[in-house]
Each structure stands twice: as C-alpha cells, then as structure tokens.
C-alpha cells in the first residue's frame, strides 16, 4: 500500500532520517488549533508550507503546495488546498511543515526490481523531478546498485554511487548514514519502495528528506497494526473494507457492470473477466477467496458481493485444489436466501467436486452447473439475454 | 521422463500436522507420491496418515534420505520453514503459501541460488509429473500422462488448461506452478531448460499473466535456447489498471508496463503461438502434435 507523505515523514523520523516536522490537519479549524499549540514554544515557526496529502505526483504544479508567512496566510492557504482536486483525487488532509532552505536537490530510493529479484538502490545527484523524467533526460546520471542477498549498505556501494554520480566525496559519511537508515526502514517495514525525492542539501550543508514516498508490501501488513489502520482510513470503498475483514480481496472492475464473479484464484478471475468482456458484458466486481475457504467464509463472500445492488448475475467459478467444492456448495446453500433473487451460474471443478455438485442438486435441481469456464461464460450470455 | 518430481522423489511435508498438510498428505500418498516424513516443530513422534513426524528437516533427512520438501505452512512461517529446508541441503524445495512477504522471498531466492537449491513458488500449487508423483495441492484427478509440459503463474488457469487437455485425450509430462508472486523462487526462464531437456515433453505451454516482465524475459530465452514449440496465454487483458489482481505480481502500472499487449508482442515475435483463452490451448497443442 502506498503511504501518504506525512506517514512517510513519520517513518523517516522513526528510522533516524532527517525529515520534515509538522502536523496533519483535515480542517482549517484544526490548523488554527495546532498552530496555536505549536506557536508558544516556537517549535514550528513561519514561514510554513501547506502540502496536500494525496497519493499522486505533480502536487506542486497543481497548486497543492503553498507557502504562508503569517497565521492569516496559513488559514487562507489551508482553506485553498483542503478540498481541491489533484489528478481526480480530493485533498482531505494537509501536512503543515516548516520551510527548508535548499541549496541542491538530489534523488535517492530503494525499490524492488522484479526482473533482478532484488532491491535496488537508485541515486541521482540531480533530483526534484519524477525519477522517470530524470532517467529519460539524463540516463547517465542515474546510478543503480542491486543488493544480492544483502540487507545493509556496504562501503563499496557508497563509493560506487559517489564516483558514478559525481557528488563530492565530502558527502560520503552523510550519504552512508542516510542510505543505511533507508535500508533499515526498507527491510524493517517490508517496503517495496522507499523514495526520498528530493533529498536536499540545505543551505547549512546538511542532507535532508524533503519529500517521501513509501509503498509497503500488503503481504506484510499483518506485522504493522498502525499501518493497517492508515490503510483502512484511506480506503473509500466499503466493500473492499468489508472483504478485508474476512481476508478476501474485493476488486471493483467496471463501475456500471452488472455481473459479479467469485473465484478461488486470481488467474481464474482474470480469465473470467477476459472472457465475459469479450462477449460484450461488463463485470462490476470480482472477489478472490484465496485458497482453502471454508463454508462459513464463502457465505460472507456471497453476502459482500451481492450487497451491491447493481449485480444481476453471480458467477461462482471454482477450480479447487486446496479449495474444496463441498465447502463452496455449503457456503452457497447458507446464503441461498440472498442468491435466489439473482441469476446464478455455478462452476465447480476439482477437489471434492461430486460432493459439492450433490449439495447443489439437492438444494435446487434447476441450478446450472457449468462444465468448464467457456460453458459457464456461454451460460452467462444466455442468462443475461433473458 | 518428466522432471523434478517422479518415482525417485522422497518427499518431506513441512506442516504435515495442520489441516491442509494432513489432507494433502493423504492426497499425495493416494497419487503414489513417496512421502517419507513430515516435519512440525514440537510434534516429533506423531504419525500422520502412516507418515512419521519429526521436529526438524535435518532429522527427517537423516532417517529417511529425503530429497525434496513441500511446505504447507502459513505465510508468516514460510521464511523459517523454507530457510531450514534450503540450508539442510535438500535439492528441491516447494513453497505453496499465498501471501508471503516479498522481502522474505528476496532472502530465500538468493539463499537458494547460492546453495544451488531449486526453489519453487510461493503462491503455487506445486509440481506434478502425471502418473508418477505430485508435490503440492493440485486436484490430481484432472491430470493425465503425456507430451505437454505446462508452467503457470496461476493455479486456477493451469487447472483449467490441464482439464481441457485431458478431456481431449492429451496428457502432460510435468506441470509446474511458478506462482503468482513478485519474486518467484523459479521464474519461467528457470523452468524452460528443464522442459527443453525432457524427452517426454514435446510441446511447452506457458500460462502467464499481466504484471512484471517474466514473459518478456522468457521470450528472449526462447529465441536463444528453446527449439520445442511453445504456446502462451496471457491472462488479465481486461483487468483494471494499477490494481493488484490478487496475485501480488499481477498489476499493470499506469504507463502500461506489465500489460498483456507488450507480453504477447514479445512472445509472438519469437515464434510463440498465442492462445486467446485457456479453451484455445488444447486445439493449438493438437495442431502442433499432429503436424509432427
């Protein structure tokens, strides 16, 4: 999951990286209150910066980063930024922070390189724009070092970065410290991306993290209660949230679609969407049960997808390995009151198929049991045409 | 022939005393797999489905000369379990858990590589050589012995394909789930040499999906090293952008990278036949087999 900037700064601080201090607010009233709280001990002094907290780039260009020299200006800028729309996202939170005097902007990140199956440290002595733009314009300036099983920085890596980037070697110790903390954060919080852009040299010649992006591995969120809370706060789709509680993945596909698909695997879901779309119908949403779902959980899955009123047809498409078809059938049986008002196409194959088919036939001999995926999709076409 | 698992496999099940471990122990035994031992820390002395249980992989190897392990453990225990299997010297370690943190896989991948261990998965159904043995949780009823080698990122798409092949009377040599995660222990390019070397395999079926560049890299490898005919399917053409489709690895980035079109282009440029859906694969296989 991608964190917002202020979450990133909090993690930077936690791992000893010099980063922005400030506060988050979701209303002008809160800004007033918090500036008041800060003002007496002068821990946050003007000029201040108001930064829109949205998960998208180009905030500066869109007017989402503004400066204030007085409390009056701060209120005006805060009210301007709160509620504005950047790349289609509404700004619900702002981060108010001190202005930093910058001498030079650089780029530093640790990212997961899937191709190399390794994290890669990326450094550029010129930063401040999106890394893709830097790489397009000055490919020779972007220096990369892959980790090959390591989880911490080694002296040769920093030396290589300095030599290739052309950054003065007087920064060696400071850069080592920054990268070392960044890697501790990357591995400590199971990140897939930690980016400092820009990493600045201040007029006092210190290195400082002025803006940050962090993407945490969803598969590791079980370790971090606080980050899970942040994730759920950011999610606006109630069905995604509800599905999460049961450890399902609910994915909206086409807003105006009227078909829902439940399956026991990501691959089967993708194939189902592909085939249904090819026939000219639209899938509203899909739900991935994952492997080994029990009857009780399947009942919940059905309830979640059918709570969207647009759904006219439910396609349950199971090819069970670790998932057992009799569990699926019991789950559908348990939610029959809800299912019977919709069109249903069912496909059960794999582990305990016969037991599952029997439960369905006993429940209602009219239920259509598809032979395979194509037969299931053909049946959907027929049902939707009625 | 076939490869990786067969009649010579002496398999350990890590996590044998859990619900899934026990269930699939029975399934694997029924299929004829030589399951020699189980490992669950703290359960030494237990017997599951006639299979003796130990606390450590090392003791299971000492007592039973095991040469492979399959792990039926929850994702948060996968790292420790797989680390133990790899460092105990087993040449083949199969991980199936869904939801493993990617940095755990980074560490395991490099550990396995440095020790020359073949690591399969995670988020995989395992491996099966039909008629010989299986190590994983696939519903084996649908498999049959024959000339088609299959490797897949998705379990369900592999099942669908195998099901249709078998129904058409076309069997499989070895079927491998490389898994749907961002860092697989073995990717398509790691499996291609096995299929090329295996005498039983006459056609290779590769079931890919959106996300990453495994298929593009496979295309490069195929152009340089693979003489056998290859058929590929890329699932997820109509998936919404920037949303992970359930497999951590199946996600299209905003600039279109990882999309199906680029993958299909790269593969067909090197002579790979592209299937539009799983249902087209059997007829493509049939036409290749008949053409020979």
- Per-residue HEC secondary structure of A228-253 comes to HHHHHHHCCCHHHHHHHHCCCEEEEC
ipTM associated with this complex: 0.92
The answer to whether A219 contacts chain B (CB < 8 Å) is yes
Helix (H, G, I), strand (E, B) or coil at A257: coil
CB B252 within 8 A of CB B213: no
- Point out the least confidently predicted range of A319-333, B96-110, B144-158: A319-333
**Least confident stretch, A56-60, A130-134, A157-161, B87-91:** A130-134
User: Which residue of chain A comes nearest to B241, CA vs CA?
Assistant: A253
Dist. CA A198–CA A201, nearest whole Å: 9
Residues of chain A with C-beta less than 8 angstroms from the C-beta of B158:
267
Q: Which of B84, B20, B94 is nearest to B54 (CA)?
A: B84
Whether A356 contacts chain B with CB within 8 A:
no
Residues of B in contact with A217 (CB under 8 A): 101-103, 248
* Residue in A closest to B109 by C-alpha: A117
Q: How far is A23 from chain B (nearest CA, A)?
A: 30
Tokens of A133: 């733009």
Per-residue confidence band for A196, with pLDDT thresholds at 50, 70 and 90: very high
With b for 16 or more beta-carbon neighbours within 10 A and e for fewer, the A370-386 pattern comes to: bebbbebbbbbeebbee
Q: What is the distance between the alpha carbons of residues B179 and B122, in angstroms, rounded to a whole number? A: 6
User: pTM to 2 decimals?
Assistant: 0.92
Whole-number Cα distances in Å, A40 to A35, A44, A75, B69: 9, 9, 18, 64
CB burial string A91-121: b at 16+ within 10 A, e below = bbbbbbbeebeeebbbbbbbbbebeebbbeb
Of B114, B156, B238, which is closest to A149 when you measure between CB atoms? B114
Print the SS3 string covering B38-70: EECCCCCCCEECCEEEECCHHHHHHHHCCCEEE
Burial of B36: CB neighbours in 10 Å, binned 0-12, 13-18, 19+: buried
**Are B236 and A253 in contact (CB < 8 Å)?**
no
Asked if A149 lies within 8 A of B107 by C-beta distance, the reply is: yes
The confidence score (pLDDT) of residue B256 equals: 63
Pairing state of beta strands B11-14 and A313-320? Answer: unpaired
Rounded mean pLDDT, A22-50: 80
A266 with B247: Cβ contact below 8 A: yes
Determine how β-strand B11-14 pairs with β-strand B68-71.
parallel
Q: What is the nearest CA distance from B277 to chain A, expressed in angstroms?
A: 7
Alpha helix positions (H), chain A: 5-14, 28-38, 71-81, 131-137, 155-165, 172-188, 225-234, 238-245, 266-278, 295-306, 325-334, 336-339, 353-363, 373-385
Q: Are B74 and B102 in contact (CB under 8 A)?
A: no
Q: Is the pLDDT of residue A340 over 70?
A: yes
When pLDDT is averaged across residues B49-78 and rounded to a whole number, the result is: 97
Per-residue pLDDT at B46 exceeds 90: yes
Q: How far apart are CA B267 and CA B249, in angstroms?
A: 19
A265:B155 CB<8 A: yes
| Mean pLDDT of the A49-73 span | 91
Q: Residues with Cβ < 8 Å from A370, sequence gap 6 or more? A: A345, A346, A347, A376, A379
The percent of chain A in helix, strand and coil, each rounded to the nearest 5, is 40, 25, 30
d(CA B173, CA B194): 11
The answer to whether the CB of A342 falls within 8 A of the CB of A306 is: yes
Q: Chain B closest CA to A249's CA: distance in Å?
A: 7
pLDDT number for residue A37: 61
CA distance B135 to B69: 8
Mean pLDDT of A211-221: 94
The catalytic residue among A77, A195, A300, A327 is A195
Instruction: Choose the closest CB to A270 out of B96, B109, B235.
Output: B235
Distance CA A259, CA A343 (A): 9
C-alpha to C-alpha distance for A325 and A263, rounded to whole angstroms: 11
pLDDT band at B62 (very low <50, low <70, confident <90, very high): very high
**Chain B, nearest residue to A252 by Cα:** B240
For the segment B82-91, the average pLDDT, to the nearest whole number, is 97
Pairwise CB contact (< 8 Å): A322 & B245? no
- Assess whether pLDDT exceeds 60 at residue A338: yes
Chain B residues with beta carbon closer than 8 angstroms to that of A224: none
Per-residue pLDDT, B176: 98
Q: Which of A88, A265, A328, A352 to mutate to test the interface with B (most CBs of B within 10 A)?
A: A265
Instruction: Give me the mean pLDDT over the A162-171 stretch.
Output: 94
The answer to whether B140 and B115 are in contact (CB under 8 A) is no
Residues 57-116 of A with CB under 8 A from B: 112, 114-115
More confident position, A322 or A212: A212
CA distance B16 to B22: 5
Task: Please give the structure tokens belonging to residue B249.
Answer: 């690895």
Cβ–Cβ below 8 Å for B209 and A267: yes
Q: Could you report the per-residue pLDDT of A3-26, keeping only the tens digit for each?
A: 999 999 999 999 999 999 889 999
The C-alpha atoms of residue B220 and residue B214 are separated, in whole angstroms, by 10
CA dihedral over A235, A241, A247, A251, signed as positive or negative: negative
A25 φ, ψ to 5°? -145, 150
pLDDT digits (tens, 9 = 90+) for A112-131: 999 999 999 999 998 777 77
Does B257 score more than 80 pLDDT?
no
Does the beta carbon of A168 lie under 8 angstroms from any beta carbon of chain B?
A: no
**Which pLDDT value is given to residue B273?**
98
- What pLDDT, on the 0 to 100 scale, is given for residue A41? 46
Say if the Cβ atoms of B136 and A119 lie within 8 Å. no
How many Å apart are CA A331 and CA A329, to the nearest integer? 5
Query: What element of type H or E holds A117?
Result: none
pLDDT at A282: 96
Q: What are φ and ψ of residue A312, in 5° steps?
A: -105, -25
Residues of A in contact with B247 (CB under 8 A): 266-267
For residue B105, which of A118, A221, A96, A272 has the smallest C-alpha distance?
A118
Q: Are B99 and B75 in contact (CB under 8 A)?
A: yes
Residue A131, pLDDT score: 79
A2 within 8 A of A192, measured Cβ to Cβ? no
Mean pLDDT of A203-230: 94
Q: A100 is written with which tokens? A: 């930093």
Highest mean pLDDT, choosing among A122-131, A134-143, B104-113: B104-113
For A269-302, the pLDDT digits (tens) are: 999 999 999 999 999 999 999 888 899 999 999 9
Residue A195 known to be catalytic: yes
Distances (CA, A) of B138 to A9, A267, B129, B160, B176: 45, 15, 11, 12, 10
Alpha carbon B274 to its chain's center: 21
Which tokens belong to A185?
């954060």
The confidence score (pLDDT) of residue A40 equals: 46
User: Cβ separation of A115 and B248 shorter than 8 Å?
Assistant: no
Q: Which residues contact A67 (CB under 8 A, 6 or more apart)?
A: A47, A48, A49, A50, A73, A77, A99
Token pair for B209: 């999906």
Calculate how close chain A gets to B43, using CA atoms only, in Å: 23
Answer whether residue B165 shows pLDDT above 60: yes
């Amino acid at each position: 999951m991608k964190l917002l900037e202020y979450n990133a700064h909090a993690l930077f601080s936690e791992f000893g990286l010099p980063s922005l201090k400030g506060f988050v607010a979701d209303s002008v009233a809160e800004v007033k209150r918090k500036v008041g709280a800060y003002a007496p001990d002068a821990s946050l002094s003007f000029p201040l910066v108001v930064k829109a907290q949205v998960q998208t780039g180009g905030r500066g260009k869109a007017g989402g980063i503004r400066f204030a020299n007085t409390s009056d200006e701060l209120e005006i800028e805060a009210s301007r930024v709160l509620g504005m729309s950047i790349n289609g996202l509404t700004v619900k939170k702002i981060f108010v922070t001190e202005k930093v005097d910058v001498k030079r902007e650089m780029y530093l990140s640790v990212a997961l390189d899937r191709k190399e199956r390794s994290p890669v440290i990326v450094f550029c002595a010129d930063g401040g724009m999106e890394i893709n733009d830097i790489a397009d314009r000055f490919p020779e300036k972007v220096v990369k070092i892959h980790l090959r099983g390591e989880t911490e920085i080694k002296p040769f890596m920093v030396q290589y970065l300095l030599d290739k980037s052309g950054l003065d070697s007087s920064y060696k110790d400071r850069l080592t410290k920054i990268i070392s903390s960044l890697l501790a954060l990357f591995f400590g919080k199971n990140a897939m991306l930690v980016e400092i852009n820009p990493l600045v040299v201040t007029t006092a010649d210190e290195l400082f993290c002025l803006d940050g992006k962090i993407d945490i591995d969803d598969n590791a969120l079980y370790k971090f209660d606080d980050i899970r809370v942040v994730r759920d706060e950011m999610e606006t789709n109630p069905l995604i949230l509800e599905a999460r509680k049961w450890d399902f993945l609910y994915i909206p596909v086409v807003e105006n679609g009227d078909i829902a698909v439940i399956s026991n695997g990501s691959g089967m879901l993708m194939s189902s969407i592909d085939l249904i779309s090819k026939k000219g119908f639209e899938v509203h949403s899909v739900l991935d049960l994952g492997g080994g779902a029990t009857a009780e959980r399947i009942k919940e899955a059905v309830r979640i997808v059918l709570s969207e009123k647009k759904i006219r047809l439910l396609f349950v498409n199971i090819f069970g390995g670790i998932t057992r078809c009799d569990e699926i059938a019991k789950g559908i049986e348990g939610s029959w009151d809800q299912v019977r008002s919709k069109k249903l196409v069912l496909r059960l194959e794999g582990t305990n198929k016969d037991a599952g088919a029997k439960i369905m036939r006993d429940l209602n001999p009219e239920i259509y049991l598809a032979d395979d995926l194509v037969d299931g999709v053909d049946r959907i076409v027929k049902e939707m045409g009625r | 022939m076939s490869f990786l698992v067969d009649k010579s496999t002496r398999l350990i099940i890590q996590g044998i005393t859990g619900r899934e471990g026990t269930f699939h122990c029975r399934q694997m035994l029924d299929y004829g797999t030589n399951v020699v031992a189980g490992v669950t820390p703290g359960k030494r002395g237990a017997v599951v489905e006639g299979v003796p249980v130990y606390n450590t992989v090392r003791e299971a190897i000492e007592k039973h000369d095991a040469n492979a392990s399959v792990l039926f453990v929850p994702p948060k225990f996968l790292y420790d379990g797989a680390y133990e299997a790899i460092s105990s010297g087993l040449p083949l370690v199969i991980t199936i858990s869904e939801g493993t943190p990617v940095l755990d896989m980074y560490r395991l991948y490099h550990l396995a590589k440095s020790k020359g261990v073949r690591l399969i998965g995670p988020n995989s159904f395992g491996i099966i050589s039909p008629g010989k043995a299986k190590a994983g949780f696939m519903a084996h009823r649908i498999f049959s012995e024959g000339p088609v080698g299959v490797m897949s990122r998705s379990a369900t798409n592999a099942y669908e394909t195998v099901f249709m092949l078998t129904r058409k009377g076309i069997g499989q040599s070895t079927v491998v789930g490389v898994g749907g995660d961002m860092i697989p222990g073995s990717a398509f390019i790691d499996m291609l040499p096995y299929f090329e070397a295996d005498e039983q395999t006459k056609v290779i079926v590769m079931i890919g999906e959106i996300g990453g560049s495994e298929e593009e890299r496979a295309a490069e490898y195929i152009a340089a090293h693979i003489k056998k005919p290859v058929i590929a399917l890329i699932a997820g053409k109509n998936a919404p952008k920037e949303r992970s489709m359930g497999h951590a690895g199946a996600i299209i980035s905003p600039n279109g990278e990882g999309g199906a079109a680029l993958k299909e282009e790269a593969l067909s440029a090197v002579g790979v036949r592209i299937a539009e859906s799983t249902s087209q694969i059997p007829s493509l296989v049939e036409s290749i087999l008949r053409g020979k």
